[in-house]
Structure 1
């Protein structure tokens, strides 16, 4: 892990899964407030649900980039909107490193002043619908071969056990492991024994009163009556969930929650 330089500041704002138009718009409405309040050097966001819960479009990508976001990570819905295939090359979107795609990249190095920040994206394998390559070994390989000053992994996974295992596996080898995918902000933001910062899930940016973003009645009826109705983004008040990762001059990870009044 790189040595710290205490005369510098390095803070990264990481926005949790942006869900649908509600999440995109609420983030755009509040990103200036977030920037002024937390003064991050960089902003990263998970956008695999940005287009109504299924992938991302070029229009949304451009809106998020124009707002000042530096990089977008993805997840198991990366390719659900095929438009991404037309612009991912050369973009500031990274897809999971282990999803076996031949398009795009699973990591990117962002330059900020004289520093290089390595950001990786990986999918967990427990309870996922598809077969993916081993994320532990693939992330380790990149960390060992690339040159950088700071490193962050967005681990898009279903189970807390797999996420925690990844943090232990990489403790002292990476600056931060943040979990996405389950859309519920967890209460375990902490620094691991060898210095890696961690949270099991950043949470979701989107509707407050749905079921992880989807209209609540659709999901409740699916559980209770086994009804099969396509997902629709929930309406009503919106929220932003994020974390502020501070790497210099101190090392800490703080939760952020912002919500719209009912």
Structure 2
């Protein structure tokens, strides 16, 4: 096992523009920063809702090792096939135990054994899920003696629930990284018991949008209250991620990485 290790986590990848931003930015970032392990949230990967085999494989080719998700992961039927064929994609662990998919995944890469799991918040989300706080403890107890690092993506609506989860798992897991709201926060830090934390990593997709959707559509919905089909925005892409550096299995630093105006050519 090496003493120094770097992990990159990419925030919610939104549709085609987000995928292209990843393909443009990630390979060079891995090389420049000497990243050892990369994971990303992909609940919005295919057209803004769900994931398909084709879109997931493109992200694997770009250098992502593991994929977390959230409440939109069930929007496309491909997900059941991906689970059955053991693609490295997770559902939130606090869905009922008989729901398809895996609660956590383990990887061995560049001399370290890593466990990744995903939790879904309950505040303001209408999903029937078990308590994420208790489930986080259960996952920790299952993997703590068999891995070097434990990484958690907490997909939740409110900052308070995400911050509470960070403190709840501090000293147990090695990172609690927030997703879902698509807006990056500037509170990255190492908590008291050496857990790397950020409330929301932010979205990878169109910056000139409302959380990835064409802004005109969302503005009209707020003005009228009427439903309208979402369409992905395609202007001014940005790439949002965090890089965590570990030293002797302890988080040494967490830093935001953001690149705006990623040029699209496909």
TM-score for both structures, normalised by structure 1 = 0.94
Give 1:80 deviation, angstroms.
Answer: 0.4
1:183 alignment counterpart = 182
Q: Give, in angstroms, the shift of residue 36 of structure 1.
A: 2.0
> How far off its partner does 1:237 sit?
1.3
Contact 2:239 2:262 in 1 (8 A): no
Whole-angstrom CA distance in 2 between matches of 1:178 and 1:17: 11
Cα displacement (A) at 1:66:
1.5
1:260 aligns with 261
In structure 2, the CA distance between the partners of 1:42 and 1:77, relative to structure 1 (3 Å rule), is: same
1:87 aligns with 2:82: yes
Residues 1:14 and 2:14 are matched in the alignment = no
SS at match of 2:72: coil
Structure 1 gap ranges (5+): none
Aligned to 2:203: 204
CA contact (8 A) 2:50 2:75 kept: yes
Q: Paired residue for 2:125?
A: 128
What SS class does the counterpart of residue 24 from structure 1 fall into? helix
Alignment partner, residue 29 of structure 2: 34
Spell out the pairing of 1:51-90 with structure 2 (5 A cutoff).
51-89=46-84, 90=86
* d(CA) in 2 for partners of 1:152, 1:53: 24
Separation of aligned partners in 2, 1:261 and 1:57: 23
Residue correspondence of structure 1 range 164-243 to structure 2 within 5 A: 164-243=163-242
Secondary structure, counterpart of 2:154 in structure 1? strand
Flag the 1:228–1:102 CA change in 2: closer, same or farther, 3 A: closer
Q: Distance in 1 between matches of 2:31 and 2:142?
A: 36
- 2: distance between equivalents of 1:251 and 1:261? 29
User: Residue 230 of structure 2 aligns to a residue in which SS?
Assistant: coil
Distance in 1, Cα, partners of 2:198 & 2:22? 21
Structure 2 unmatched ranges of 5 or more = none
Aligned length: 257
Counterpart Cα distance in 2 of 1:258 and 1:114: 29
Contact 2:10 2:241 in 1 (8 A): yes
CA shift for structure 1 position 33 = 1.7
